[in-house]
């Protein structure tokens, strides 16, 4: 079986074209272009690269960006003050705090201080709760990007057995909730799960979100499964052994060029939604 590539780069470009056209139309009607504020605490090179990519992506669709850089020794209170300042700024439609923050920062408190209507990265407890209850919200960008990618390729989720490997609050857990809302039967696993290989072998949809290079072996993948690799490790390697997995899967996301571009596209899409005064629509599960 030849596995088909889920082209996140091409799908992201379609989303960005929609965003660009929507902004152009409203700006012509007299609206000011939307603005995304990005907050970077410290000087981690990888985080700087990610923020640069997001700022450039904003420019590419006609969106403004405001970059806030805070020193490595920033306290939680100082960060909360900056976020509150952005919450109160009516010219800002979205706020993104780049993860990870330095260890002295209470990152969860910082995330939860973001106004829900500006939480376009989908990181607040409020938005997670809305997602869990299958209500309109801003969803964590990477899992929502994977859902939109599945939709783009017409891949049916309802009734399928899905295994998500990884339980982070901004990736694994919300991905499991989204798939559940789409009527998949979901098993949420992690690095401590016993007999992980046997569990993965039963899956129609496999999501790699554990943050370890090729942790999920290609030999574990069932013939015809859909493989979504949200990992990005040193050397352009994902969480799944794609060189082997792609010989058995029906569809797979490449690394890079699969999930990554979708993450940024969703961030821009939800900033657009904030500007338009709405949330991302609930996925609407059955019973």
Q: Per residue in 269-284, pLDDT tens?
A: 999 999 999 999 999 8
Q: Which of 7, 16, 98, 112 is catalytic?
A: 98
3-state SS assignment for residue 242: helix
Is residue 286 scored above 90 in pLDDT? Answer: no
Q: Per residue in 182-201, pLDDT tens?
A: 999 999 999 899 999 999 99
In a domain, 283, yes or no: no
Report d(CA 219, CA 205) in Å as an integer: 15
Is residue 92 located within the same domain as residue 158? no
In a domain, 131, yes or no: no
Based on the structure, what is the number of domains in the chain? 2
Average pLDDT value for residue range 153-172: 97
Is residue 263 scored above 80 in pLDDT? Answer: yes
Average pLDDT value for residue range 215-229: 98
Name the pLDDT band for 3 (thresholds 50, 70, 90): very high
CB 162 within 8 Å of CB 227: no
Q: Based on the residue annotation, tell me whether 106 is a catalytic residue of this protein.
A: no
In a domain, 63, yes or no: yes
Average pLDDT value for residue range 22-49: 96
Q: Per residue in 52-92, pLDDT tens?
A: 999 999 999 999 999 999 999 999 999 999 999 999 999 99
Neighbours of 3 (CB within 10 A): 19
Per-residue buried b or exposed e for 155-170, using 16+ beta carbons within 10 Å of the residue's own CB? bebeebbbbbbbbbeb
Average pLDDT value for residue range 107-124: 98
In a domain, 276, yes or no: no
Q: Which of 16, 54, 118, 130 is catalytic?
A: 54
Is residue 242 located within the same domain as residue 190? yes
Q: Is 92 left (phi over 0), alpha (psi -120 to 50) or beta?
A: beta
Average pLDDT, the chain: 96
Q: Based on the residue annotation, tell me whether 98 is a catalytic residue of this protein.
A: yes
Is residue 210 located within the same domain as residue 243? yes
pTM > 0.85: yes or no: yes
Q: Which of 7, 119, 121, 239 is catalytic?
A: 121
Neighbours of 282 (CB within 10 A): 15
Question: What per-residue confidence (pLDDT) applies to 285?
Answer: 62
Q: What is the CATH number of the domain that holds 90?
A: 3.40.50.10860
Report d(CA 122, CA 70) in Å as an integer: 22
208 is in which domain, residue-wise? 141-261
Q: Based on the residue annotation, tell me whether 135 is a catalytic residue of this protein.
A: no
Bridge partners (DSSP) listed for residue 103: none
Question: What per-residue confidence (pLDDT) applies to 191?
Answer: 86
Name the one residue in this structure whose structure tokens are 């985080």: 47
Is residue 113 located within the same domain as residue 208? no
């Amino acid at each position: 079986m030849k596995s088909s590539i889920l082209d996140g780069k091409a799908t992201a470009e379609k989303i960005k074209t929609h965003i660009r056209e929507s902004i152009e139309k409203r700006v012509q009607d007299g609206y000011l272009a939307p603005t995304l504020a990005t907050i970077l605490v410290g000087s981690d090179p990888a985080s700087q690269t990610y923020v640069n990519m997001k700022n450039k992506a904003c420019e590419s669709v006609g969106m403004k960006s405001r970059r806030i850089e805070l020193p490595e020794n920033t306290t939680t209170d100082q960060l909360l003050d900056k976020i509150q300042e952005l919450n109160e700024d009516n010219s800002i439609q979205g706020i993104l705090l780049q993860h990870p923050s330095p260890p002295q920062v209470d990152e969860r408190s910082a995330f939860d201080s973001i106004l829900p209507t500006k939480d376009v990265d989908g990181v607040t407890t409020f938005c997670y709760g809305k997602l869990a209850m299958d209500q309109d919200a801003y969803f964590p960008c990477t899992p929502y990007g994977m859902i939109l990618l599945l939709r783009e390729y017409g891949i049916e989720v309802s009734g399928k057995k899905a295994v998500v490997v990884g339980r982070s609050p901004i990736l694994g857990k919300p991905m499991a909730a989204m798939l559940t809302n789409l009527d998949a039967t979901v098993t949420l696993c992690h690095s401590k799960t016993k007999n992980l290989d046997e569990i993965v072998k039963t899956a129609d949809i496999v999501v790699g979100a554990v943050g370890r290079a090729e942790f999920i072996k290609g030999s574990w993948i069932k013939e015809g499964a859909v493989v979504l690799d949200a990992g990005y490790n040193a050397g352009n390697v994902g969480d799944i052994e794609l060189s082997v997995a792609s010989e058995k899967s029906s569809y797979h996301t490449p690394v890079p060029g699969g999930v990554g571009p979708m993450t940024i596209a969703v961030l821009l899409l939800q900033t657009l939604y904030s500007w338009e005064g709405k949330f991302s629509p609930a996925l609407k599960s059955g019973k």
